[in-house]
Chain A
Amino acid sequence: MAGLGGRFSTVVKAKVSKLLNRAEDPSETLEYGYQKQVEMLQDVKKGIAEVTTSKKRIQMQSQKMEGQVVKLDTQARQALSQNNEELARVALERKAGLQGELQSLDTQVTELERQQEQLTQNEQKLRQKIEAFRTKKEVIKAQYSAAEAQVRISEAATGVGEEMADLGLAIQRAEDKTEDMRARASAVEELEAAGTFDDISRIGPGQDDIDRQLSELSTGSQVDSDLERMKAELGPGEGAAPAPELEEGTGTPGSGESAR
């Protein structure tokens, strides 16, 4: 096998043989090997727990974003009822941008959940292998000569070592993924926090960089349809929509344009 045979397994082999060379006495090697395996299993558990914690944190961030989406929707409605369509559009653009981020975050969280389940399953497999090693070491100690034992030990230890290395790699990949997701969620959160408008009257279209960045994320068509839907929901009459038959300059003070 050209390149295939060498992939990864050589690394594991090298690590195991280093481990085995430490002790001369096979039974000592076995005990040391087993002890090491149990220790490393703890690391594996810790690694999986960290992935779970990170996932929870991302889910919390995503919940916060959901709250912000609701808030922006309400603000758009308010702006519209005050007849300020431009303002409503900005709020809806932000909402659409945030929703886009949320969607991709949710997809990733689902994927992470699947990975996490797999990690837990693989931890069980590793446990089973370590248990098998524990049984095997007693058999080896009882049945084989020193020279023969060395070969058997090497086989068994490599089997466990490979499982361990593989799970370690999977944990590493899951951790990297949560890091990426957290960084992205935090960036959106910061962006949103910087542009948060508790006072609806403070925002205006195209005001700042944040507005531009957020609206770049959004899709125009969704904003338009949201806007139409809201207008329909608010209905005529409500929100003092300027009636065409009104003469110019007769608008009631406090309605419509006064929101600017």
Chain B
Amino acid sequence: MIVRISGEGQFRLPDADAQRLNELDNRAVGAAEQGDEPGFQELWAQMLELVERDGERLAGDELVESDVILPPRDSSFEEVRGEFTGEGLIPD
């Protein structure tokens, strides 16, 4: 699975992490919907950490599309919570 952290680049993650990331995402969406900022921040930090820890940076000349794009690290809660809603930015 390819994950991009917006503003930082793309990472290749083992497929086993996809489920973990999805689980964190679902919980983050829940926290964002309830306006639970500390809870959300905690989950979001965990998502970024997971990608950094397990992910392998893509080589500069690899031209692939990301499966997932995470918002910029320094986004505010208000900016980010718009992204973390039920269907994501654009419903599939």
By a beta-carbon cutoff of 8 Å, the part of chain A in contact with chain B is 1-13, 118, 122, 125, 128-129, 131-133, 135-136, 155-156, 158-160, 162, 166, 169-170, 173
Establish whether residues B25 and A170, one from each chain, have CB atoms under 8 Å apart when the complex forms. Answer: no
Establish whether residues A155 and B69, one from each chain, have CB atoms under 8 Å apart when the complex forms. Answer: no
Report B-chain residues with C-beta under 8 Å of the C-beta of A133.
63
- Across the interface, A5 reaches (CB within 8 A) one of B6, B8, B92, namely B92
Of residues 48 to 92 in B, which have CB atoms within 8 Å of A's CB atoms? 60-72, 83-92
State how many angstroms separate the Cβ of A48 from the closest Cβ of chain B: 13
**B29 at the binding interface (Cβ < 8 Å):** yes
Chain B residue with minimal CB distance to A14?
B90
Interface digits, B1-41 against A, CB 8 Å rule (1 contact, 0 not)? Answer: 00010111100000000100110011001000000000000
Q: 5 tightest A-B contacts by CB?
A: A159-B63, A3-B88, A132-B61, A6-B88, A128-B60
Chain A residue with minimal CB distance to B29?
A3
Establish whether residues B60 and A162, one from each chain, have CB atoms under 8 Å apart when the complex forms. Answer: no
- Across the interface, A170 reaches (CB within 8 A) one of B7, B61, B65, namely B7
Report B-chain residues with C-beta under 8 Å of the C-beta of A169.
6-7, 72
Chain B residue with minimal CB distance to A135?
B61
Report A-chain residues with C-beta under 8 Å of the C-beta of B68.
1, 4-5, 7, 9
Q: Decide: A12 near B65, CB < 8 A? Known: A4-B21, A125-B9, A170-B6.
A: yes
Q: Decide: A125 near B6, CB < 8 A? Known: A4-B21, A4-B25, A6-B91.
A: no
Report B-chain residues with C-beta under 8 Å of the C-beta of A136.
63
Report A-chain residues with C-beta under 8 Å of the C-beta of B7.
118, 122, 166, 169-170
Report A-chain residues with C-beta under 8 Å of the C-beta of B8.
118
Chain B residue with minimal CB distance to A6?
B88
Report B-chain residues with C-beta under 8 Å of the C-beta of A162.
4, 65-66, 69
Establish whether residues A9 and B69, one from each chain, have CB atoms under 8 Å apart when the complex forms. Answer: yes
Report B-chain residues with C-beta under 8 Å of the C-beta of A1.
18, 21-22, 25, 67-68
Chain B residue with minimal CB distance to A156?
B63
- Across the interface, B88 reaches (CB within 8 A) one of A4, A118, A160, namely A4
In the assembled complex, 22 residue pairs joining A and B whose CB atoms fall closer than 8 Å, in A order, are A2-B86, A4-B68, A6-B91, A7-B69, A7-B71, A7-B83, A9-B65, A10-B89, A10-B92, A11-B89, A128-B60, A129-B60, A135-B61, A155-B63, A155-B64, A158-B64, A162-B4, A166-B4, A166-B69, A169-B6, A169-B7, A170-B6
Establish whether residues A173 and B69, one from each chain, have CB atoms under 8 Å apart when the complex forms. Answer: no
Task: Give CA–CA (A155, B66) in the complex, Å.
Answer: 11
Task: Give CA–CA (A176, B18) in the complex, Å.
Answer: 33
State how many angstroms separate the Cβ of A177 from the closest Cβ of chain B: 10
Report A-chain residues with C-beta under 8 Å of the C-beta of B72.
169-170, 173
